[in-house]
Amino acid sequence: MSRRGKFRANVLRLADVGAHTGIPSSDPFFHDHLILAEGDSWFSIGGFPPTNLLYGLRFKTHTMVVSCAEPGDTILNMAKLTRNAQYKRALSRNGYPWDLILLSGGGNDLIDAAGKIVRKPSERRPRNPSTVEGYVKKSVLAGILKDVKQGYRDLAAVRDRPQSQAQGKPIVTHTYDYATPRNEPARFVSFPLLGPWLYKAFTENEVPMEQWLPLARYLIDALAEAIESLQKGNNRITNFHVVDTRGTLTPPRINDIGPTTHWLNEIHPNHDGYSILGKKIEREKLYGLLYVDD
C-alpha cells in the first residue's frame, strides 16, 4: 500500500489558468502531472460549500488539478456539450495533455429526483410497507440511473474524440458515502441556503422515521452500483475506475443539527471528511495510475 504523498495539488479553476492570477499560462508544464476535474459541489471551487474533495488530495509529485466543476451540477448537464464548453475546451486540440481525469457526478441527479422517486402515501400498498422497496418508484429510479450512466459514457466519449489530447487516459470517479437524512441545509454563515434534500423528500412523502436510514442507504447503494457497473463487462468504459467510498465517514444522527464529525450538512462532508475520502481515492486508484513504477 503506497504511503501518502506530501504535496498538496495546485488546484485552479479552468477559467483561471493563464488568467491574471499570478500564474503564467505555461505553468501547467512545470508540474509533474496534470489532472482535469469535472463534477458537482464535491469538486467545485469558489462556490458553496467553500471546501471540496480536491483540496483533500495529496500527491507524491508536483501536481496541478484544474476544475470545471460547478456546485449543484448534475451528470446530465456535465455531459451536454452545449452547456459544458469548459470541459469540451479542456479536451480539445487546444487543451492540455492531461494525465488523468477526475469525475464526480450522479449525486445531484439522485437527490434532486428524490421527491419523485419516493412514493406518496396514496401510492403505497400498504401505506407503510415493511421494506424500503415499497417506498420506491423503481421505474423512476431506474430512469435516473440510466441517465447517470449515459452521462458518464458521454463524458468519456469527449475524452476519446480524435482531437483530444487525453484519449484513453484514466478516468477516476467515486461513489457517494451514506448521507443521513436530517434537517441540516447548506448554510451561508448561519442562514439556510440550499436543502435539505433527502429530509425534505422523506418528510413530504410521510416516510416513517425508522425507514429514513434504510431508504437513504438503498438509494445511495443503487447509485453506487450503477456507477460501478460502468467499469465491468463487455460494454465497460475503457480505463474507467471507481472508488467505493460508502461507509468511510462517521455518520451523523438523524436529529443532529449543524456540522458533525465528518459532515458539514446533510449531503456535504466537511474538511476532515473530504481529507479522509481523499486518502481513500489516492490509495485505491490515483497512486496506482499516476505512479506506475511504485
pLDDT of 19-50, one tens digit each? 444 444 445 556 889 999 999 888 887 665 66
Bigger pLDDT: 94 vs 193 = 94
Calculate mean pLDDT across residues 250-275.
Answer: 94
Region 156-172: mean pLDDT is: 95
Which residues are within 8 A (CB) of 71 and not within 5 positions of it... i.e. 6 or more apart? 40, 41, 44, 47, 48, 49
Q: What is the C-alpha separation between 87 and 90, in angstroms, rounded?
A: 5
| pLDDT recorded at residue 47 | 61
The answer to whether residue 2 scores a pLDDT higher than 60 is: no
User: Mean pLDDT throughout 185-212?
Assistant: 83
Read off the pLDDT band of 73 (50, 70, 90). confident
The count of other CB atoms within 10 Å of the CB of residue 14 is 21
Strands 7-8 and 58-59 turn out to be antiparallel
Using an 8 Å Cβ cutoff, are 182 and 255 in contact? yes
Supply the mean pLDDT for the chain.
89
Strand partners, 136: 118
Q: Say if residues 158 and 87 touch (Cβ distance below 8 Å).
A: yes
- Which of 39-48, 187-196, 197-206, 214-223 shows the lowest per-residue confidence on average (mean pLDDT)? 187-196
All cell numbers assigned to 56: 483533500
For 76-133, how does the pLDDT look when each residue is reduced to its tens digit (9 = 90+)? 888 886 667 889 889 988 888 899 999 999 999 999 999 999 999 999 999 999 999 9
Under DSSP, the state recorded for 263 is B
7-105+146-183+230-290 has which fold? Rossmann fold (3.40.50)
- Name the one residue in this structure whose C-alpha cell is 417506498: 135
Position 192 confidence tier, pLDDT thresholds 50, 70, 90: low
Among residues of the chain, what percentage have pLDDT more than 90?
A: 68
Q: Can you tell me the mean pLDDT for 48-59?
A: 83
Average confidence (pLDDT) over 196-218: 97
Mean pLDDT of 264-282: 94
What is the structure's pLDDT at 185? 83
Sketch the domain layout of the chain as residue ranges. Answer: 7-105+146-183+230-290
pLDDT of residue 45: 78
Cβ neighbours of 268 (radius 10 Å): 25
The reported pLDDT for the residue numbered 85 is 85
More confident site: 263 or 9 = 263
- Kindly tell me if the per-residue pLDDT of 264 is higher than 80: yes
Residue 127: CB atoms within 10 A of its CB come to 12
